[in-house]
Structure 1
Amino acid sequence: MEETGLEESLIIQQQESIKNGSSRDMSKSSITAVLVLSAFVAVCGSFCYGCAVGYSSPAESGILKDLGLSVADYSVFGSILTVGGMIGAVFSGKIADIFGRRRAMWFSDIFCTFGWFAIAFTKNSLWLDLGRVSIGFGVGIISYVVPVYIAEIAPKDLRGVFTSSNQLMITCGFSLAFFIGNVISWRSLALVGAVPCLLQFIGLFFIPESPRWLIKMGREKEFENALQRVRGKQADISEEAAEIRDYMEASQNSQRVEFLTCFRGDMRIHSLLELALCCYNN
């Protein structure tokens, strides 16, 4: 009797563990409407990035003709996007960490929208170049914050699928600029480039902030609400929430340890030796 009772209890425990495991897997693998909407709104910025990269080639003949620019002037216009992108990339991490992923995307949308409208309604090369630099600064932020945001909201087993949409939309924006750039004017093409920026700006009002950023900032209640919205009302987020908390705590502790190791005696001597060797070689 005792053996049969023990067997029955083991079977019941095994069935419960299987149910719990399957429910956890279902919650992790679930694709909710909020998750899809959030990813779509984020990759609108990637689409804008692709349009910005592909804009200069189909617009060249129209801009040279309408504004009377030389080839050298247009070369500056085409390449100055990279200058703005480098500046935006330098500040992208700090902006996203201090103000959050959503506000960073809003910030980039302001610069990108201003840049596209400056190009569309310009009368001289000055505003043309200013608009191009502004777009470059915006896409410099986008290139960092969009994949980070998508990776932070996507379930673990679907993260690769969702983050790959970033590169896909960049390519789609690039291709669209080439395809319709030969059909419409360069001013109209600039207005087309502003459309995904405006869509993202509006869509950001309806999507949650990154749960990982919220827990990093110590906003516990907002963290749980955001994670619940992304995973669905019926999903059990307790295990994933605990994993995120443990990961963020371990990450912050490791960063403190790495920072403190810079002040160890052997590390200071090693750095001085490297600096002396560098000066000697120069």
Structure 2
Amino acid sequence: MSLREENEEGRDLKKPFLHTGSWYRMNNDSRESSLYSSTQAIRDASISVFVCVLVVALGPIQFGFTAGYTSPTQSAIINDLGLSVSESLIIASVPNIIGWLFISFADDTSFLYMGRLLEGFGVGIISYTVPVYIAEISPQHLRGRLVSVNQLSVTIGIMLAYLLGIFVEWRILAVLGVLPCALLLPALFFLPESPRWLAKMGMTEEFQTALQVLRGFDTDISVEVNEIKRSLPSANRRTAIRFAELTQRRYWLPLMIGIGLLILQQLSGINAVLFYSNTIFQNAGISSSDVAAFGVGAVQVLATCVTLWLADKAGRRILLLVSSGAMTLSLLVVSISFYVKDHVSEDSSLHGILSILSVVGVVVMVIAFSLGLGAIPWIIMSEILPVNIKSLAGSVATLANWLFSWLVTLTANMLFSKSSGGTFTIYTVVCALTAGFVAIWVPETKGKTLEEIQLFFK
């Protein structure tokens, strides 16, 4: 039975949302046309993948803008709407176009709850589907840096929220949050579907066409086509797996690694730092907390740019080890600084030195996070999950990530108000545990095809 025949019965129920790429194709006559000659350079460069990545990167920008919105607007929202601290925490913790409009036109807390909830649904989907889509369309030698564009876009969104929050009031900032998704929606209709998804659904012709579009019209894709086909038969015979089968190494190990990394990413406290950076800097004695927060956002963007270059050179595993190790040390410095400040007079020179030291520690922590723990867990998750459980397992991993994000964000402000030093100590311990988890469990996936990675877990 052919790949197409195996899935023919249910095919009409699962038409691809995105184009398969057939509209790009030209016959021999059109190759002689002026249209062909004008686009030949683009095809030869196989630029389709880069265009697709840039378009879907609008989604993570929305993600980052949502994350960064809280920091510059928290105080103004509380004052204008008369919110209590607990109400503000719940609103900020519930992790898009409609959501932002709800916030912009809010008259009371119910609009804010609904707006953040709607954003959470959108961001939750974006945070999983974008890295998986990029991983599935990317050539193996570029996969790491292209999937890292997802995290880069998130950091750009955060930085934009911090920057614009300095100049515009919170309602206008919410309206501006509509723009990334407003641009993303129409652009999606011009992207090719993931070749691996098309192959899984039995759409052989469409799968090969989409892959040809993504790799360039003059590229020989026969080897990659055969690799993808060989990886699919067992998954196509039965789409569902029994619960007992999850005890097999090929399932439980990638599940544990993917979920573990995404949970530890949130428990490191990064969202507490980013969401409440203004509060942290105020506690550290920094008067221009808005500007300092924007500085952190800019540093995060620059550090993530470095990750794009390193992901396919240094490797995923080493970046995670360096990242978690550096975060442990920087957070230790921050926690000690806050502890000592509680016992030092505000008029002393030591108090000023400790304030600067705590800010430097936070900045180093953000840089270290951006170099590894920010982007790499999403890269690894998109690479290691078996194709027949990728949707379910990826959704569970993303749910776990956002559940712990909610938990950390919910408790952050209250923990900071009680003891900034104690809060950063908790995050220090988590980062140390993350380094140990990576050293024991996480494999190196650099330079391997998605099919080779699956063989490793078998």
Partner of 1:131: 115
- Mark the CA change 1:187 to 1:218 in structure 2 (over 3 Å): closer, same or farther: same
- Distance of 1:34 and 1:199 partners within structure 2: 18
- Distance of 1:126 and 1:32 partners within structure 2: 48
- Please point out which of 54, 77, 95 is paired with 2:68: 54
Identity across matched positions, percent: 43
- Distance of 1:252 and 1:78 partners within structure 2: 42
Instruction: Give the residue type in structure 2 aligned to 1:76.
Output: I
Q: Could you list the per-position Cα deviations for residues 226-246 of structure 1 after superposition, in whole angstroms to 9, with x for gaps in the alignment?
A: 111111222222221111111
Deviation of 1:180 after TM superposition, in Å, equals: 1.5
- Mark the CA change 1:76 to 1:240 in structure 2 (over 3 Å): closer, same or farther: same
- Distance of 1:261 and 1:186 partners within structure 2: 50
Instruction: Give the residue type in structure 2 aligned to 1:69.
Output: L
Instruction: Give the residue type in structure 2 aligned to 1:242.
Output: N
- Distance of 1:258 and 1:231 partners within structure 2: 36
Higher mean C-alpha displacement, 131-140 vs 229-238: 229-238
Q: Which stretches in structure 2 are left out of the alignment for 5+ residues?
A: 1-43, 248-458
Partner of 1:247: 231
1:176 aligns with 2:190: no
- Mark the CA change 1:129 to 1:261 in structure 2 (over 3 Å): closer, same or farther: closer
Deviation of 1:32 after TM superposition, in Å, equals: 2.5
Q: Could you list the per-position Cα deviations for residues 198-229 of structure 1 after superposition, in whole angstroms to 9, with x for gaps in the alignment?
A: 11111101111111001101111211121111
Partner of 1:37: 51
- Distance of 1:164 and 1:148 partners within structure 2: 11
- Mark the CA change 1:129 to 1:31 in structure 2 (over 3 Å): closer, same or farther: farther
1:118 aligns with 2:132: no
Q: Could you list the per-position Cα deviations for residues 102-122 of structure 1 after superposition, in whole angstroms to 9, with x for gaps in the alignment?
A: xxxxxxxxxx21111111122
Deviation of 1:136 after TM superposition, in Å, equals: 0.9
Deviation of 1:58 after TM superposition, in Å, equals: 0.8
- Partner-residue secondary structure (3-state), 2:107: coil
1:64 aligns with 2:48: no
1:231 aligns with 2:215: yes
- Mark the CA change 1:62 to 1:228 in structure 2 (over 3 Å): closer, same or farther: same
Higher mean C-alpha displacement, 243-252 vs 232-241: 243-252
Instruction: Give the residue type in structure 2 aligned to 1:62.
Output: A
Deviation of 1:36 after TM superposition, in Å, equals: 1.2
Q: What TM-score does the superposition give when structure 2 sets the normalisation length?
A: 0.42
Instruction: Give the residue type in structure 1 aligned to 2:131.
Output: P
1:203 aligns with 2:187: yes
Instruction: Give the residue type in structure 2 aligned to 1:48.
Output: Q
Number of positions where the alignment pairs a residue of Structure 1 with one of Structure 2: 205
- Mark the CA change 1:68 to 1:218 in structure 2 (over 3 Å): closer, same or farther: same
- Partner-residue secondary structure (3-state), 2:55: helix
- Distance of 2:59 and 2:246 partners within structure 1: 38
Q: What TM-score does the superposition give when structure 1 sets the normalisation length?
A: 0.67
Q: Which stretches in structure 1 are left out of the alignment for 5+ residues?
A: 1-29, 82-111, 264-282
How do residues 1-282 of structure 1 correspond to structure 2 at under 5 angstroms?
32-81=46-95, 112-250=96-234, 261=245
- Mark the CA change 1:130 to 1:206 in structure 2 (over 3 Å): closer, same or farther: same
- Distance of 2:82 and 2:246 partners within structure 1: 56
Instruction: Give the residue type in structure 1 aligned to 2:233.
Output: E
Q: Could you list the per-position Cα deviations for residues 98-142 of structure 1 after superposition, in whole angstroms to 9, with x for gaps in the alignment?
A: xxxxxxxxxxxxxx2111111112222111110101111111111
Deviation of 1:251 after TM superposition, in Å, equals: 5.1
Runs ≥4 residues deviating over 4 A: 250-263
